Amino acid sequence: MLSLRVRSVRAVLFVAIVAAASMLAEARVDVRVAFDKTFDFKPVRTWGWHAEKKGEVMMARTQKDDPEAVRKRAEPLIIDAITTEFAKLKIQPSAADPQVTVTYFLLLTSSTSAQTVGQFLPATLEWGLPPFDAATQSLKLMNRGSLVIDLNAKGKIIWRGVADAKVDPYASDTDREKTLREAVRDLLKKYPKN
């Protein structure tokens, strides 16, 4: 009887671990960074926002998208996260004459992915399968978000970071804030320190 209880506890524990791992995989932020290898990042001690605008929100999901409403909600979080991460790098804000200027772009899109029956089979009947019509067996609709941060010096982009993540339309504001802050943190961790 004891072994049955042990097995059921193990089964419940296994299911909980798999569920936790899948939630972490969904919340994952993919980060890519590129920078000018000829630029010396070491003496950079000040930063500021781009003179014309701090950033821009671009949306391509529905006809009713309102980028300005999203910008008003997201921009304060992005500004605070970038300011916090630059402080950790010991690079201070400067409105007068910053060594680098920062611009962000928040891109929100939708995408689809589909698979059809027989999609991965070779184009031959030697497999012994009768010909059949392609029918969709898997369809995935996803909301995606990308945060792009550009650092400019002397009118030239010297560093660009891109963070991509799946966006849950039903996520709480706390979860969205956490994802944005995580994206900025992960991007600026890759700032070259020479």
Domain that holds residue 125: 30-188
**Which of helix, strand or coil describes residue 103?**
strand
Per the CB < 8 A criterion, the answer to whether 126 and 116 are in contact is no
The end-to-end CA distance of the chain, in Å, is: 63
Domain count, the chain: 1
pTM, rounded to two decimals: 0.71
CA distance 194 to 191: 9
CB proximity list for 138: less than 8 A, separation 6 or greater: 113, 114, 115
Could you read off the pLDDT tens digit of each residue along the chain, which spans 194 residues? 456 665 554 554 444 444 434 333 345 789 999 999 999 999 999 999 998 889 998 887 667 778 888 889 889 999 999 999 999 999 999 988 999 999 999 988 776 666 666 666 555 555 555 555 666 565 555 578 889 999 999 889 999 999 988 877 778 889 888 989 999 999 999 999 76
In a domain, 97, yes or no: yes
Output the DSSP codes for 27-41: T-EEEEEEE-TTS--
Q: What is the CATH number for 63? A: 3.30.160
Question: Contact at 8 Å (CB) between 50 and 102?
Answer: yes
The answer to the question of residue 171 being in a domain is: yes
